[in-house]
Chains A and B, each alone.
Chain A
Amino acid sequence: MLTVNKRGHPILEAEASIPYELAYGPTWHRFFEELKQEKIFGTRCPKCERVLVPARTFCPRCFVDMGQWVQVSNAGTVANWAICNLAFFGAPFKPPFITSLIKLDGADNTFFHLVGGFDLEDVNLVGRIMKRGVRVEAVWERTKKGCIFDIKYFEPL
């Protein structure tokens, strides 16, 4: 509809919304089925032998089909993290929250997820806990939906 913007100029307020049906395919499907069982799986490249999480259909470097499915540990070390203090579109939660790249034991890459389970409002506490190399472990949702947030977050040990 014709309305005015914050500076009083005429604008059309518009929005587009489209429903999607996005194919999981067999690899994501199994990965999320395993996740429901509280197991994190990667796949091993038969060529470079790296284990990548989440599981892949093919190795991005070698471009060959991934071989064996490998269960990696539910625990790992924080390789990198950022603290979000700002609400934004697509944010999984109200800030503050911490996203992190976590090197899970048994994987050759890092896994993108949240770190939580302590008072994130307490800046000093966050500063004391969040360091490169800190050990974390997955905390699971009680009701699983077969999505990435079946893992609630990773909690420092």
Chain B
Amino acid sequence: MTRPVAIVGVGQTKPGDRSEVTYPDLVREAVQAVFHDSGIDPDDIESVIFGSMPSMMEGVAMNHFYLADALRGVGKTFMRTETCGTTGISLAFSGYYSVASGFADLVLVVASEKVNEGDAQATMSTVAEPFYQRPFAAGAPGMYAMLPNEWMWKHDIEEDACRDAAATLSVDHHRDAVRNPCAHIRREFTLEEVKSAPVVVYPIRLLDVCPTSDGACAVIFASERIAKKMRQKPAWIKGIGFRGDEYVVGDSDRVESHCATDAAREAYEMAGITRPLEELDVAELYNPFTFVEMLHMESFGFCEPGTATARVLNGTFSREGTLPCGPSGGVLCTNPIGATALIRVAEIVLQVTGRAGDHQVPGVKLGLAHGLGGVNQFNGVMILGSEL
């Protein structure tokens, strides 16, 4: 059987426009936070794993060379994992396998992005190959706007209801973010404000879209032996699942996405979950766009295909609902891209260990963290629990 793996510490930066500090200083903020949180001696770390978005984001290639010192990576076993938007969750997987395999007992995983220094949408456009798709690429919103349109059409979802549900998610997430000191946009909005915000790419409006955030996140993975000696309660990794889809966007159905459903199924099987809506206590979905979050609620089996709109409107996924989604305010309020999916993991760790402070959901035992990359091309799911 697989060796149990725990997360014994998390560290986050204060995200936002952080042009008052250099990139290495921002990364160091998260690294110091994780050592402070865990009480672990940095010398005891055996292996450091790091990743971010592509070099074009900040104009530094293989930036682990530049960030080596800030990562406390000097003299350590090192590995860099990077899978675009899923980078953060893929990093968590790298940390998990390092411990589960017996290669290491204590692993530091760090992810970061200083999105304000470059042009994220220009970078995203270069993800499309130059022969065929790049000339059409309109950054991430352009590509992601197509999914909800197709979804509404497919399930005959009334457009007004869908609009209301997306706006409800935006209002809820922005309200939640006010309680989270590690959120970027901490300001409440009304339904009317969301629905009358400028259109970015129809039907996505400005308040349906994540902000441009600088930020970093650090997480320490540990073996059972070490986790049980820690002063504070660890979070245990109960399940993991990941899938990657075809590259060319037109080649596969990205609405009823096998990539997303299979990733979740793999994680549920490992965790022994058969009824996710009832068994999970909290979820942090990777939701840079309100509309797309509803697709994943369906893909992950929180509700039947085509029913997420109604479920959102009846409060199933709000803070007080059956399965609160995004109590941190989610990606919608904070998106330092390379770090974003690792922040989902960190937030679930805080929730299952009861350390989420003002945005703690009461009585959480089992939670789901999600990473999303490409145009729904990559989905990663990690289930974390309070018990081994």
Asked if residues A24 and B22 are in contact (CB atoms below 8 Å), the reply is: yes
5 shortest interchain CB distances as A-B pairs: A60-B69, A25-B22, A23-B19, A25-B21, A20-B59
Majority DSSP secondary structure for residues of A touching B: loop
- A4–B43 Cα gap in the complex (Å)? 55
> In the complex, which range does the number of interface residues on chain A fall in?
10 to 19
* Stretch from B122-130, B146-154, B216-224, B313-321 contacting the other chain: B122-130
Asked if residues A23 and B114 are in contact (CB atoms below 8 Å), the reply is: yes
Is residue B192 contacting chain A, with contact meaning CB distance below 8 A? no
Interface residues of B (CB under 8 A from A): 18-25, 28, 32, 42, 56, 58-59, 68-70, 72, 74, 114, 116-119, 122-123, 126, 130-131
Asked if residues B22 and A19 are in contact (CB atoms below 8 Å), the reply is: no
- A61–B19 Cα gap in the complex (Å)? 25
Asked if residues A20 and B22 are in contact (CB atoms below 8 Å), the reply is: no
Q: Nearest-CB distance from A23 to chain B (Å)?
A: 4
Q: Which residues A95-124 have CB closer than 8 A to chain B?
A: none
Asked if residues B22 and A16 are in contact (CB atoms below 8 Å), the reply is: no
Candidates A16, A22, A24; contact of B126 at CB < 8 Å: A16
Considering the complex, give the chain A residue whose CB is closest to the CB of B18. A23
**Chain A residues positioned under 8 Å from B25 (CB to CB):** 25, 27, 57-58
Q: Nearest-CB distance from A61 to chain B (Å)?
A: 7
CB contact under 8 A between A19 and B56, given known A12-B130, A25-B20: no
Is residue A48 contacting chain B, with contact meaning CB distance below 8 A? no
Q: Nearest-CB distance from A20 to chain B (Å)?
A: 5
- A156–B123 Cα gap in the complex (Å)? 44
- A105–B336 Cα gap in the complex (Å)? 41
Candidates B22, B69, B74, B123; contact of A23 at CB < 8 Å: B22
Candidates B32, B119, B123, B130; contact of A14 at CB < 8 Å: B130
Question: Which of B18, B24, B74 is packed against the most chain A CB atoms within 10 Å?
Answer: B24
